[in-house]
Structure formats: structure tokens, C-alpha cells
Amino acid sequence: MKVNYLSAVYATRAVIDGMKTRKAGHISFVSSAAGQLAIYGYTAYSPTKFALRGFADALHMELLPYKISVSVLYPPNTDTEGFKVELETMPEEVRLISASAGLFPPKVVAEKHLEDVENGEYTTTIGTDGWMLGVVTSGGTPEKNLWRAAVQVLLSGLFRGILLVYMGYFDGIVKKCYKRRLLEQAREEENQKRR
């Protein structure tokens, strides 16, 4: 919570008064696709990114009178040094689930977010899966773009169905890995008994 949520709150607090006085500014937050859809292995991480999303949504409305804009980036797996380190200890379930969304170069993620900020968009998602996830999880999130709002209204139900299929697939991965570990454990115990 300190790193992923409170650091954003404190940084915002440090700059907000000056922005309000000038009646100008932009605050951009980096959440995560895991801040839209929580998956296996992210019980500590996802809630912090969901909290950041809630903070951004509320802040957006509070800052409207001051002409200060807010945006949120929901990056997928991004090919950074940190992600490479994470891969070394990543549970098999997470690796298999994460593989379904692909891996994106940092430059692509950054350029897409900068483009969306310049165009006045509130959210930035990356790739087709990210876009679909953004539509289906838009809920009460602010939306400035009429076209994006229409797409969300029209496709949310369909994308919810697709998301349920993905989630069923992810659940299957978790169950399969669990069963395999139980089987390996039983074999190991049997081998120890034979010794």
C-alpha cells in the first residue's frame, strides 16, 4: 500500500495546491491491468492498484472545477528489468495466466499513454485484451470521449461473456497446477517410504 497507493496520494498532495491556484495541471497515475482484474498470485498487489483506481476516479471529479485533469494507465506485462526479475520467482500459475495477454515494450506503453493524455483521455489500455478489459471494467469510471462511452455501453455485455471464458480458463490453470503439485507430493512421499 505504501509503494503502490500511498506514494501516489502523497505525491498528489505535494503538487495539488499549486495546480488549484493556477487552475491548470494534469495528474497521471500508473495502475495495472491487475488493478482491473485480480488474478492468482496478486493478492498483495492487486488491491493496491484497485485502490489507486478509486483514488483517481474520485480525484477526477473533485478537480473538475479547477480544470486539472487526471488520467490512469493500466499497463499489461511490460518488458522491463523489474518484470524480468519478477519472472525468476513467478509461480507457474501466474506465468501461464500472464502469457495470455502478451508482453509489451516499455516504449509502446509510454507512447500510448502520452498520446491518450494529449487527447484528453482518462484511461489508457494497451493491446486488444487491454482494450476489452478496459471496456468491461469501465463501470463508474469517468469517460470524456463520447465514442469510447458508446463502445462501452454497446460491448460491455459481450466482453463480460468473453472475460468469463478467460476467467474460467485461468481457474482451470490454477486447478490443474494444484492437482499436479498434489500428485508430485504424493509420489515424493511414496518414494520416501520406499527408501
Q: What are phi and psi of 124, to 5 degrees?
A: -125, 125
pLDDT of residue 99: 86
From 5, 31, 46, 138, the catalytic residue: 31
Is 188 part of any domain? no
pLDDT by residue for the chain (195 residues), tens only, comes to: 999 999 999 999 999 999 999 999 999 999 999 999 999 999 999 999 999 999 999 999 999 999 999 999 999 999 999 999 999 999 999 999 988 888 999 999 999 999 999 999 999 999 999 999 999 999 889 998 999 999 999 999 999 999 999 999 999 999 999 999 999 999 999 988 887
Tell me, yes or no, if 49 is annotated catalytic: yes
**pTM for the full predicted model:** 0.87
Distant-in-sequence contacts of 46-53, Cβ < 8 A, 24+ apart: 47/1, 48/1, 48/3, 48/4, 48/5, 49/4, 51/1, 51/4, 51/5, 52/4, 52/5, 52/8, 53/141
112 domain residue, yes or no: yes
**Active-site residue, selected from the candidate residues 40, 42, 45, 66:** 45
Told to judge if 100 belongs to the known catalytic residues of this protein, a careful annotator would answer no
Is 64 contained in some domain?
yes
How many structural domains compose the chain?
A: 1
Residue-level pLDDT at 62: 96
Is residue 182 situated within a structural domain?
no
Residues 6+ apart with CB under 8 A from 100: 129, 166, 169, 170
Does residue 184 belong to any structural domain of this protein? no
Q: Which residue range is the domain that position 123 belongs to? A: 2-161
pLDDT of residue 195: 78
For residue 101, the model assigns a pLDDT of 81
CATH number at residue 118: 3.40.50.720
Q: Is residue 39 part of a domain?
A: yes
Q: First-to-last CA distance in the chain?
A: 48
Q: Which one of 5, 32, 46, 49 is the catalytic residue?
A: 49
Residue 174 lies in a domain: no
Evaluate whether residue 190 is within a structural domain: no
Half-sphere exposure of 111 (CA within 13 A, CB side): 6
